[in-house]
Structure 1
């Protein structure tokens, strides 16, 4: 009896996989060309998580400026030319400007509030319009409120040339270290948010949270770092089996 149940279960599973694969192949015929996919995983094991673009460039030379991938159950179309990107993301923005939500970065870390992770919907349009308005409004830099708000930074102005020279010298340390130095030097002369460099050459040690937040946020936003982004069923597992959920919530506390 147990053997019969095992055989029936095996046949059912194989049938489900076969049906899924046949549907997958039929859908692939409607997509741009691309590299050979593995069942269920697709091209997930072929795409480096940290540096995917060299592989994308290699595939673009073989399949053209527009090709498709499967990352688990997700279909991905890669644009490898400015013309293709302009046609799809500009001329056809209404249909193609949204994105698959990265579960960890969008749902856990930013609680759905970070513009860069939001889908292309009415909320995104409203937030984007607000951001563009503040960026383009040149008068805001000269209004009385801005002058008052920037008053604590005025004593830093004589340091501009020396700060720039020091940042140039830090390029070998990498953009992340340069960003931290630049941010902390301008953030607050008295402050506690980062390393504060004085003209005398003294460097005051920064507390770790801001440094850790920036590094962790960059890692969290990296596509491919979390299988839960590609396989939604993993999001239902308990916390003990998915440490990324605990890390995401902790990151949200820092970020908030």
Structure 2
């Protein structure tokens, strides 16, 4: 026995009261420390497994459905753990507004993504960029080219793309998704780079966007790379780490692609070209904000890739709604016949006279959001909300699906597709709920991360849907018994950046004799 152990035993034997007091004090200290720990006041949530937390519960089914179900048991603010990382699920628009809008200074960061954010995109894809000075300059420059007033200058090209899309749907309805992807990519390329219309949904530009988004979404998925769990692996040389070699290669490849598109615009601007484009605005504003050509190229590329996928996704859900609920298609077409007639195509000059078209757009985005869980935010400091502790580094997950289907906000038919909810008794287009502001839904993000391209997206959806419904009757394919085949309005495919509907068939026929003739004449004149 050591001298220390002998002395300790002697002390305990000689002064038992002192020893008891010390032990009791340690027990009391431990209990008090535990009782006062703010971690005991985390938001409630489902029990997890030691060390790994709630990982397995998050791997089954659609997470937005899981979170909505948990909300009925644990409330509007729920905490879960994923291998020690605290996630707070926000199941009410009120909580999201308070924590992500009002307290945006504390909740505008992003989770770290070593592969997707730091290596694949060099920290320049501003959807993933931490909330720092570079992001603020990115957003300020982008806002100058995408604000509500400036976006009107992009309407002529959006109108052209809508005509090409509608004609394509009549000619080959079986390639519907391809038409929508071509339309979105071409419209965004025109807006950003003043690029002429793309001729195909399988063109190189569309393919490049799709491949870039696949790489990013796959790399950002939890568990995709061990380096996200063990960050020290980023110091392993590229020669020994395939993930690093691949990421560095694709960053160089995508940078060359995006810089090539951007520098074409710079050359035209230097030659005196004054045609409007986002890239031209970035050239001007980027100089004032100290952004390099590479940073500007990636700022433009971020909007290019994100805008292409989301608009095409909304259009796919819209057509599914028209197949499932044809009465709303007929009502919109009656409005188009009354306002536009059948001797000309819809135009942006009709935008204030077509409230039901606006109602269709808003209801589609509310009913089936392409991003049901929004974009996550991260807190930069400890916070408290209604007596619940939210530690620094918490990931906020806004359950946009739940917000958009809340009966307290949208009524007892919140789960139904009902554009008429947005039409007043005198036929006017009604404002949205207070917290949803002018959008009427919660799909455009929060705080200092609100979608910078939402105004141009709204314009594109308006002219696309107005033109498509003016020219085309969308109907279900019949089965062998002559009955309309059912469509799946509840199933979905998670494509990474967006959630889309299950594949469906459709019939697309011209609504009247001259519809295709007028479309084709306008398309041929481009």
TM-score, with normalisation over the residues of structure 2?
A: 0.34
Structure 1 245/51 Cα, relative in aligned 2: closer, same or farther at 3 Å?
farther
Paired residue for 2:41, among 8, 30, 37? 30
| Contact in 2 for aligned 1:40/1:73 (Cα 8 Å) | yes
SS in 2 for 1:33: coil
Q: How far apart are residue 234 of structure 1 and its match?
A: 4.5
SS in 2 for 1:75: strand
Map of 1:115 onto structure 2: 126
Map of 2:110 onto structure 1: 99
Moved more, 238-247 or 50-59: 238-247
Distance in 2 between residues matched to 1:51 and 1:241, nearest whole Å: 37
Moved more, 38-47 or 83-92: 38-47
| Contact in 1 for aligned 2:182/2:202 (Cα 8 Å) | no
2:228 aligned with 1:229, yes or no? Answer: yes
SS in 2 for 1:196: coil
| Contact in 2 for aligned 1:79/1:85 (Cα 8 Å) | yes
Map of 1:200 onto structure 2: none
Map of 2:199 onto structure 1: 196
SS in 1 for 2:86: strand
| Contact in 1 for aligned 2:165/2:183 (Cα 8 Å) | no
Q: How far apart are residue 107 of structure 1 and its match?
A: 0.7
Q: How far apart are residue 32 of structure 1 and its match?
A: 0.8
Map of 1:255 onto structure 2: 254
| Contact in 1 for aligned 2:168/2:179 (Cα 8 Å) | no
Distance in 2 between residues matched to 1:55 and 1:155, nearest whole Å: 42
TM-score, with normalisation over the residues of structure 1?
A: 0.64
Paired residue for 1:161, among 152, 158, 166? 166
Map of 2:181 onto structure 1: 180
Q: How far apart are residue 87 of structure 1 and its match?
A: 0.7
CA offsets 1:81-127 (integer angstroms, 9 cap, x no match): 21111010011111122222222111111111111111223322222
Map of 1:39 onto structure 2: 50
**Which blocks of at least 5 consecutive residues in structure 1 are unaligned?**
1-21, 189-193, 198-202
Distance in 1 between residues matched to 2:60 and 2:232, nearest whole Å: 21
Structure with bigger gyration radius:
2
| Contact in 2 for aligned 1:195/1:204 (Cα 8 Å) | no
Paired residue for 1:87, among 79, 98, 102? 98
Q: How far apart are residue 52 of structure 1 and its match?
A: 2.9
Q: How far apart are residue 236 of structure 1 and its match?
A: 4.4
SS in 2 for 1:76: strand
CA offsets 1:58-99 (integer angstroms, 9 cap, x no match): 322221111112222322111122111101001111112222
Distance in 2 between residues matched to 1:185 and 1:93, nearest whole Å: 34
CA offsets 1:220-252 (integer angstroms, 9 cap, x no match): 344554453344344445657754333332332
Structure 1 185/99 Cα, relative in aligned 2: closer, same or farther at 3 Å?
closer
Map of 1:126 onto structure 2: 137
Distance in 2 between residues matched to 1:79 and 1:160, nearest whole Å: 38
Distance in 2 between residues matched to 1:167 and 1:246, nearest whole Å: 41
Q: How far apart are residue 39 of structure 1 and its match?
A: 2.7
1 or 2 for the larger relative contact order (CA 8 Å, sep ≥6)? 2
Q: How far apart are residue 155 of structure 1 and its match?
A: 8.2
| Contact in 2 for aligned 1:65/1:80 (Cα 8 Å) | yes
Q: How far apart are residue 255 of structure 1 and its match?
A: 2.4
2:77 aligned with 1:72, yes or no? Answer: no
Q: How far apart are residue 136 of structure 1 and its match?
A: 0.8
**Which blocks of at least 5 consecutive residues in structure 2 are unaligned?**
1-32, 191-196, 256-526
Distance in 2 between residues matched to 1:131 and 1:49, nearest whole Å: 38
Distance in 1 between residues matched to 2:218 and 2:121, nearest whole Å: 14
